[in-house]
């Protein structure tokens, strides 16, 4: 005898992204669906396997019927949704957001350990950023070299909080967090103790590997030498499930 | 407690009051307290002595903060009332001696002026009348009738219908239809739901919520309990900023008293409905007035917003459906249930029903709290109720909606106050702060002040708000100092657009509004301050290129 199927908990919906007809599970986000279908949407704070943060605002998209822009990483798809990811207006906004990031701290690619291997740098190139018109803040930030294996350079931090989330959600150590507010925000280890003195840090290095820029790097690297080892990234979501 | 027991309590309070010939009400809200109302109460009590005929009562805000400390004398026989302003403890014996005779002329504050006469009070109906620390006083003013009626005679759906019919919109600033929000939460299938009262009032120059909580805290509790019954919640939080110690103290007292009278807690009115309220204190971050940041803070996390959707009505506190409304919104609810949604919908305009509380501040004759029907012309608020601009100066602009709002110039002063009209003239209703500016104010300075506020209150989570507000403040500062060029102004406008469109939460999305609205109406003030850019400067002895063009 055939047992009637129980209705599935998640439905499948159809939607349009950049005029392409697509199907997706309704628990997926616009960004996930776009990437499955090779539609590139720039992002910095998003990392598959980590919780959604929605803070870099580079993945904002236009949706038909909504006057507000939506962040693709945090918005789930709905039936009949029509999304545009690459209009002139969005490209302009993304360039300005990148300009703001470059102006905020001291991103000087030519002397950076991550030169040629940096997500901020490659995004700037792919988004066509050739000049920064926003005045640079030129504040000098400190460098924390106290850890045996790794180094933190606030001058190159973009506050994407990937390090905070990977440390809390995957490693389970919660060594990292954010202090201060507004332009005074910065990432800290253990209530702003030097990283080398951190009692909670396990030295696993996941924070260094997920950092998109040259803010978290291995000790002993110099200009252009830092290559991040991201072989474990595809397994992040499984690792999160283990806990 | 049922409706008859409520009536008994009310009767007892009225009998007690009838024994006195005179009642002296002293405003002890924060405004009057800071000008010495505490000592006035002591002085009056000492002057009255043990005369049982005269009652001295500490009450909430009477509205006219610029006249504080305020004392109102009511005589039971004729029902006549006299208000005294700027009372000192030294005046106490004179006031007490004048009872039954002629009032003390030099202290009299006329109450037939438009400031009092043009108001229509719903949320503030008990402010300045009842003792906010006495639940029985509130019950005597028909308090908790709406809650008891809802629980014993109405289904949750009936309550939702009344609130929807009333047309009430959120008073925190957004103006979202309250009935719609309530029914969304009510329809969510969940075993646990929450009701949250947002009392994290942070706009510079705004003190509406403080006034309500200090003057009539039970009204807010009653509104929350009715909301909880309607949406099916059993737990409530009041998120209030720690800078309001008096409001917190009075709320605590109110929660304790309501619990003792079994109007909060387990099985209210012997029904199956239970509702508990807890207070959570904000630690001074403006962004915690944003609902998702507020929820993070209640949960004990860093107070920063998260993207919406999902909205709190779907996934709120600890992931459960949560109803978040402002103090004033909840304050309207008991009156709506008592008099019916139709009655409320009869006040105000087509799309904005009821009344609105405004806090008048700045360069205006009468500063204080007012409650007026929606649709009243802005000019009437500023020039008639507010009494116009002091010291013979002229009106320049009125700022509504705080750092998210805009400046409205003389030419738009005839606009009638409702959600949609204010949006059309480039400002917003906001929570009700109104700062009046005269011709001595520089609008560039105003924009710079609000941008400084937003930059230092940005939580720092999203890039456009964290860096954008900081950069915009830098550009405004440069322009205000006479160092800016036309290119700086153009960049400022470009940043305004990007920050408005891409920021994560309301703080960033509305931070450019003060700049945009002052640019819209006072662009010449910006342009006057610009210096020629280096390319336009004449070479030694040469002509300015731009001049040659004309």
Same domain, B66 and B171: no
* Alpha helices (H) along B261-374: 291-298, 327-339, 341-345
Instruction: Judge whether residue A243 has pLDDT over 50.
Output: no
Residue B183: its pLDDT value, please? 96
CA distance A221 to chain B (A): 28
Residue A181 has its nearest CB partner, among B458, B463, B498, at B458
What DSSP string describes A186-230? EEEETTT--GGG-SS-----HHHHH-SSSSEEETT--TT------
**Domains located in chain A, CATH noted:** 12-86 (3.10.20.740), 91-230 (3.30.70.20)
d(CA B383, CA B436): 10
Q: Which of the four pLDDT bands, split at 50, 70 and 90, describes residue B542?
A: very low
Residue B468 has its nearest CB partner, among A100, A133, A184, at A100
Contact A127, A90 (CB under 8 A): no
Same domain, B162 and B307: yes
What DSSP string describes B133-157? T-HHHHHHTTTTHHHHHHHHH--HH
Instruction: Judge whether residue B89 has pLDDT over 70.
Output: yes
Take residue B311 and report the two structure tokens written for it.
């909205």
d(CA A179, CA B211): 33
Across A102-111, average pLDDT: 94
**pTM for the predicted model, two decimal places:** 0.92
Comparing C-alpha atoms, which of B162, B195, B186, B135 is closest to residue B338?
A: B162
Is B491 close to A134, i.e. CB distance below 8 A? yes
Q: Which of the four pLDDT bands, split at 50, 70 and 90, describes residue B548?
A: very low
Query: B275 has which bridge partners?
Result: B265
d(CA B203, CA B215): 20
Is A183 close to B470, i.e. CB distance below 8 A? yes
Q: Which of the four pLDDT bands, split at 50, 70 and 90, describes residue B539?
A: low
Q: In sequence order, what are the residues at sequence separation of 6 or more whose Cβ sits closer than 8 angstroms to the Cβ of residue A41?
A: A30, A31, A34, A35, A59, A61, A72, A85
Residue B464 has its nearest CB partner, among A100, A159, A185, at A100
Nearest CA in chain A to B500: A68
- B484 contacts chain A (CB < 8 A): no
Order of strands, sheet of A70-71, starting from the edge strand that comes earlier in the sequence: A20-25, A12-17, A82-84, A60-63, A70-71
Cα angle: B226, vertex B227, B229; to 5 degrees: 65
Same domain, B94 and B187: no
CB < 8 Å from A in window 307-326 of B: 307, 309
Take residue B463 and report the two structure tokens written for it.
């890039």
Residue B543: its pLDDT value, please? 45
3-state DSSP percent of chain B in helix, strand and coil, to 5 = 45, 15, 35
Instruction: Judge whether residue B540 has pLDDT over 60.
Output: no
- B502 contacts chain A (CB < 8 A): yes
Q: What is the pLDDT of residues A156-182, one digit of tens each?
A: 999 999 999 999 999 999 999 999 999
Same domain, B198 and B331: yes
Quick one: CA dihedral A151, A155, A156, A161, positive or negative?
positive
Max CA-CA distance within chain A? Answer: 74
Is A133 close to B491, i.e. CB distance below 8 A? yes
Residue B538: its pLDDT value, please? 55
Q: What is the pLDDT of residues B432-452, one digit of tens each?
A: 999 999 999 999 999 999 999
Give me the interface pTM, i.e. the ipTM. Answer: 0.93
Q: Which of B454, B469, B501, B503 to mutate to test the interface with A (most CBs of A within 10 A)?
A: B501
- Coil, strand or helix at A174: coil
Comparing C-alpha atoms, which of B456, B449, B452 is closest to residue B284?
A: B456
Query: A179 has which bridge partners?
Result: A186
CATH of the domain at B283: 3.40.50.11540
Across B287-303, average pLDDT: 95
User: What DSSP element (H or E) covers B55?
Assistant: strand B54-59
Residue A240: its pLDDT value, please? 72
- Give me the percent of chain B exceeding a pLDDT of 70: 97
Across B137-164, average pLDDT: 95
Which domain, by its residues, includes B495? Answer: 451-529
Indicate whether B205 belongs to any domain.
Answer: yes
Same domain, B205 and B325: yes
Across A48-62, average pLDDT: 95
Q: What is the pLDDT of residues B22-61, one digit of tens each?
A: 999 999 999 999 999 999 999 999 999 888 889 999 999 9
Is B466 close to A52, i.e. CB distance below 8 A? no
Residues in chain A within 8 Å Cβ distance of B491: 133-134
d(CA A29, CA A6): 25
Residue B257: its pLDDT value, please? 96
Is B463 close to A135, i.e. CB distance below 8 A? no
Of B384, B414, B438, which residue constitutes the final position of a domain?
Answer: B438
Is B467 close to A104, i.e. CB distance below 8 A? yes
Same domain, B313 and B341: yes
The domain tally of chain B equals 4
């Amino acid at each position: 005898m055939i047992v009637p199927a129980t209705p599935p908990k998640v439905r499948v919906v159809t939607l349009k992204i950049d005029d392409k007809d697509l199907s997706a599970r309704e628990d997926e986000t616009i960004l996930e669906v776009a990437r499955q279908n090779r539609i590139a949407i720039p992002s910095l704070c998003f990392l598959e396997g980590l919780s959604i943060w929605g803070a870099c605002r580079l993945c904002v998209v236009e949706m038909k019927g909504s006057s507000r822009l939506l962040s693709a990483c945090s918005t789930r798809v709905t039936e009949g949704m029509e999304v545009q990811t690459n209009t002139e207006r969005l490209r302009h906004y993304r360039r300005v957001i990148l300009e703001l990031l470059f102006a905020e701290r001291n991103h000087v690619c030519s002397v950076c350990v991550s030169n040629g291997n940096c997500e901020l740098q490659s995004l700037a190139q792919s988004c066509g950023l050739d000049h920064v018109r926003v005045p640079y803040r030129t504040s000098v930030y400190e460098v924390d070299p106290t850890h045996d294996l790794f180094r933190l350079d606030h001058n190159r931090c973009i506050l994407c909080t990937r390090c905070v989330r990977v440390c809390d959600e995957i490693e389970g150590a919660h060594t990292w967090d954010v202090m201060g507010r507004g332009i005074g925000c910065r990432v800290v280890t253990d209530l702003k103790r030097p990283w080398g003195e951190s009692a909670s840090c396990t030295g696993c290095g996941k924070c260094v590997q997920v950092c998109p820029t040259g803010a978290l790097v291995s000790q002993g690297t110099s200009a252009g030498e830092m290559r991040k080892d991201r072989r474990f990234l595809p397994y992040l979501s499984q690792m999160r499930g283990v806990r | 407690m049922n409706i008859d027991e409520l009536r008994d309590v009310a009767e007892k309070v009225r009998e007690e009051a009838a024994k006195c010939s005179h009642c002296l009400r002293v405003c002890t809200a924060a405004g009057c307290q800071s000008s010495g109302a505490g000592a006035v109460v002591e002085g009056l009590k000492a002057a009255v002595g043990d005369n049982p005929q005269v009652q001295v009562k500490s009450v909430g805000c009477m509205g006219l903060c610029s006249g504080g400390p305020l004392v109102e004398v009511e005589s039971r026989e004729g029902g006549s009332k006299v208000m005294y302003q700027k009372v000192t403890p030294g005046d106490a014996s004179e006031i007490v001696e004048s009872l039954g005779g002629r009032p003390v002329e030099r202290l009299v504050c006329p109450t037939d002026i438009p400031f009092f006469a043009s108001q229509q009070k719903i949320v503030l109906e008990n402010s300045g009348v009842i003792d906010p620390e006495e639940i029985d006083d509130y019950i005597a003013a028909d308090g908790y009738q709406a809650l008891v009626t809802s629980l014993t005679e109405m289904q949750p759906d009936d309550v939702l219908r009344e609130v929807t019919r009333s047309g009430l919109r959120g008073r925190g600033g957004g103006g979202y239809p309250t009935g719609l929000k309530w029914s969304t939460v009510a329809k969510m299938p969940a075993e646990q739901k929450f009701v949250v009262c947002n009392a994290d009032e942070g706009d510079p120059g705004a003190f509406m919520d403080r006034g309500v909580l200090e003057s009539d805290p039970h009204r807010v509790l009653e509104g929350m309990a009715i909301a909880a019954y309607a949406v099916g919640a059993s737990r409530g939080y009041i998120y209030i900023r720690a800078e309001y110690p008096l409001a917190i103290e009075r709320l605590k007292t109110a929660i304790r008293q309501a619990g003792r009278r079994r109007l909060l807690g387990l099985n209210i009115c012997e029904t199956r409905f239970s509702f508990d309220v807890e207070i959570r204190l904000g630690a001074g971050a403006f962004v915690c007035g944003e609902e998702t940041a507020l929820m993070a803070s209640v949960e004990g996390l860093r107070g920063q917003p998260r993207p919406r959707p999902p909205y709190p009505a779907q996934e709120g506190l600890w992931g459960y459906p949560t109803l978040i409304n402002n103090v004033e919104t909840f304050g309207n609810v008991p009156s709506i249930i008592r008099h019916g949604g139709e009655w409320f919908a009869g006040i105000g305009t087509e799309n904005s029903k009821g009344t609105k509380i405004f806090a008048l501040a700045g360069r205006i004759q009468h500063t204080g709290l007012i409650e007026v029907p929606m649709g009243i012309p802005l000019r009437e608020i500023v020039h008639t109720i507010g009494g116009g601009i002091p010291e013979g100066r002229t009106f320049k602009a009125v700022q509504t909606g705080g750092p998210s709002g805009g400046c409205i110039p003389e030419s738009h002063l005839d606009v009638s106050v409702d959600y949609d009209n204010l949006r059309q003239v480039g400002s917003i209703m906001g929570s009700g702060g109104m700062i009046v500016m005269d011709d001595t104010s520089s609008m560039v300075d105003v924009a710079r002040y609000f941008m400084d506020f937003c930059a230092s209150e940005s939580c720092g989570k999203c890039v456009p708000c964290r860096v954008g507000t900081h950069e915009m403040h830098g550009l405004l500062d440069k322009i205000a100092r006479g160092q800016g060029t036309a290119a700086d102004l153009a960049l400022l406008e470009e940043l305004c657009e990007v920050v408005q469109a891409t920021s994560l939460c309301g703080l960033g999305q509305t931070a450019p509004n003060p700049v945009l609205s002052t640019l819209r109406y006072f662009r010449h003030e910006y342009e006057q301050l610009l210096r020629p850019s280096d390319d336009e400067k004449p070479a030694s002895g040469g002509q300015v290129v731009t001049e040659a063009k004309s």
